[in-house]
């Protein structure tokens, strides 16, 4: 099921963007085997239920002590029969374990080696620690997000970890898999969150070079600078999102607000933006969010209610498309994007570390005697 059905991918367990990339690949039908740490199978953290680890859905898990020579040999045998491996360690970690690209690709020349880091495999900061907020700061993203005269606002960890990180890793792995079909050779995918985050800013860099984007927060069309691209508080304390950029959309927005275009400053007259913002804010504050949603329904005014996490699944459009689904009482996004023929289906629920150790080893050609020996030696763990 899914367009990646038939591909086999080994994921070295980590946190954040690499697991997200593995989830995307699994959602698209790839068989993803998650290699967890041996000790993770024995943690037994009280009160922790793996069903909430949404990023871990859709794959089986094997627990291996990769610091042991026998454990490294297990990973090598997995990689020898895989199409790709993904990892999110700092540069050099896999090499120090004896599991770097040269070693694994010597065993399997077609292997795609996907690497996820914050700063990339080389450069002055390659070995530095960091988090999403650091990577998007270096890419220019963080500087651009926020209101005029206020501090930069981190957009959760969506841009660095997931948009600029995990999605670019998954995209890179799929690109390399496609190329390997032609060349018969794998390669290393160096996915860096700084690089990906900067790429997401392509439009803004172009506008900045043109002189159409000011290097200041909150004064541009898409960063709350324009009064017709912002959020407004409603009578009941909720919010309305307005994105009426184009002329006809803007006119529809003003008309549904009940305002007269001739009595307002022109849309693109920046000197009139403060007055426009005041009039819009006062008008929107006069009705509840649901009332405005009814008023704007069926229009091309580009207005939407700002939904809370608890409201998303109940919205009629999202409900009709099953944008979110429930698995074991956990509401989560359905696989995306959608395909007309090779329809993806959400895979198995997240599994405890090591839950599938014996089954996976057997599928990869390990004998029962070998599995028993590895288990008894503490090289592999069984949840």
Q: What is the CATH number of the domain that holds 80?
A: 3.40.50.10540
Q: Is 65 a catalytic residue?
A: no
**Contact between 232 and 218 (Cβ < 8 Å):** no
Alpha helices in 139-224 (DSSP H): 141-144, 167-183, 193-200, 202-210
Q: Which two tokens stand for residue 224?
A: 């709350």
CB neighbours of residue 178 within 10 Å: 10
Q: What pLDDT was estimated at residue 41?
A: 60
Q: What pLDDT was estimated at residue 1?
A: 84
Q: Does residue 3 lie in a domain region?
A: no
Q: Which two tokens stand for residue 148?
A: 């005029």
Q: What pLDDT was estimated at residue 45?
A: 47
Q: Does residue 367 lie in a domain region?
A: yes
Secondary structure of residue 369 in the 3-state scheme: helix
Q: Does residue 328 lie in a domain region?
A: no
* Contacts of residue 239, Cβ cutoff 8 Å, sequence gap at least 6: 231, 232, 233, 289, 305, 306
Q: Are residue 261 and residue 352 in the same domain, yes or no?
A: no
Strands (E), 65-111: 84-87
Q: Are residue 43 and residue 131 in the same domain, yes or no?
A: yes
Strands (E), the chain: 8-12, 31-37, 60-64, 84-87, 112-117, 188-192, 229-233, 239-243, 303-305, 324-327, 330-333, 380-381
Q: What pLDDT was estimated at residue 382?
A: 84
C-alpha span between 186 and 165 (Å, rounded):
21
Q: Are residue 140 and residue 25 in the same domain, yes or no?
A: yes
Q: Are residue 26 and residue 170 in the same domain, yes or no?
A: yes
Q: Are residue 234 and residue 347 in the same domain, yes or no?
A: no
Q: Does residue 208 lie in a domain region?
A: no
**Of 125, 133, 118, 156, nearest to 17 (Cα)?**
118
- Active-site residue, selected from the candidate residues 42, 53, 131, 300: 131
Secondary structure of residue 112 in the 3-state scheme: strand
Q: Are residue 188 and residue 252 in the same domain, yes or no?
A: no
CB neighbours of residue 54 within 10 Å: 17
Measured over the CA atoms of residue 196, residue 198, residue 203 and residue 209, the dihedral's sign is negative
Q: Are residue 344 and residue 273 in the same domain, yes or no?
A: no
Q: Does residue 223 lie in a domain region?
A: no
Number of domains in the chain: 2
Angle at 156 between CA 164 and CA 15, to 5 degrees: 65
Q: Does residue 275 lie in a domain region?
A: yes
Q: Are residue 374 and residue 240 in the same domain, yes or no?
A: no
Q: Are residue 191 and residue 63 in the same domain, yes or no?
A: yes
Q: Is 236 a catalytic residue?
A: no
| Structural domain boundaries, residue 286 | 229-318
Side-chain half-sphere CA neighbours of 139 within 13 A: 31
C-alpha span between 374 and 192 (Å, rounded):
35
Q: Are residue 276 and residue 367 in the same domain, yes or no?
A: no
Over residues 278-296, the pLDDT tens digits come to 999 999 999 999 999 999 9
Return the H-helix or E-strand segment holding 170: helix 167-183
C-alpha span between 283 and 277 (Å, rounded):
10
C-alpha span between 9 and 259 (Å, rounded):
57
Q: Are residue 165 and residue 291 in the same domain, yes or no?
A: no
- Active-site residue, selected from the candidate residues 27, 134, 161, 195: 161
Q: Are residue 314 and residue 353 in the same domain, yes or no?
A: no
Q: Does residue 81 lie in a domain region?
A: yes
Which residues of the chain, if any, have pLDDT below 70?
41-48
Q: Does residue 376 lie in a domain region?
A: yes
* Contacts of residue 60, Cβ cutoff 8 Å, sequence gap at least 6: 32, 33, 34, 348, 351, 355, 356, 359, 360
Identify the CATH number of the domain in which residue 237 sits: 3.30.1540.10
């Amino acid at each position: 099921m899914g367009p990646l059905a038939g591909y086999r991918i080994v994921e070295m367990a980590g946190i954040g963007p690499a697991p997200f990339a593995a989830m995307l690949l699994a959602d698209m039908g790839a068989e993803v085997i998650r290699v967890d740490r041996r000790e993770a199978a024995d943690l037994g953290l009280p009160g922790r239920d793996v069903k909430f680890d949404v990023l871990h859905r859709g794959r089986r898990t094997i627990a291996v002590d990769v610091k042991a020579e026998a454990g490294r040999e297990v990973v090598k045998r997995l990689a020898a029969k895989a199409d790709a491996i993904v990892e999110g360690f700092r540069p050099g970690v896999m090499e120090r374990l004896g599991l770097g690209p040269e070693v694994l690709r010597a065993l399997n020349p077609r292997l795609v080696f996907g690497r996820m880091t914050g700063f990339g495999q080389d450069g002055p900061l390659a070995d530095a620690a960091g988090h999403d907020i650091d990577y998007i700061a270096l890419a220019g993203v963080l500087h651009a997000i926020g209101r005029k005269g206020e501090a930069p606002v981190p957009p959760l960890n969506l841009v660095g970890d997931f948009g600029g990180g995990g999605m670019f890793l998954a995209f890179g792995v799929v690109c390399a898999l496609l190329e390997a079909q032609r060349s018969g050779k794998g390669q290393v995918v160096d996915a860096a969150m700084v690089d990906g985050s900067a790429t997401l800013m392509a439009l803004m860099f172009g506008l900045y070079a043109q002189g159409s984007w000011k290097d200041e927060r909150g004064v541009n069309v898409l960063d709350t600078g324009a009064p017709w691209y912002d959020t407004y508080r409603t009578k009941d304390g909720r919010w309305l999102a307005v994105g009426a950029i184009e002329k006809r959309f803007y006119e529809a927005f003003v008309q549904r607000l009940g305002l007269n275009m001739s009595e307002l400053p022109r849309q693109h007259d920046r000197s009139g933006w403060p007055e426009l913002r005041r009039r819009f804010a006062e008008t929107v504050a006069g009705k509840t969010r649901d009332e405005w949603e009814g008023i704007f329904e069926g229009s091309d005014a580009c207005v939407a209610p700002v939904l809370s996490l608890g409201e998303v699944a109940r919205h009629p459009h999202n409900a009709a498309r099953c944008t979110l689904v429930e698995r074991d009482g956990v509401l989560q996004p359905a696989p995306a994007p959608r395909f007309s023929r090779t329809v993806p289906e959400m895979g198995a629920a997240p599994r405890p570390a090591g839950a599938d150790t014996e089954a996976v080893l057997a599928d990869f050609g390990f004998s029962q005697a070998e599995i028993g020996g590895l288990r008894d030696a503490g090289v592999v763990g069984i949840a």
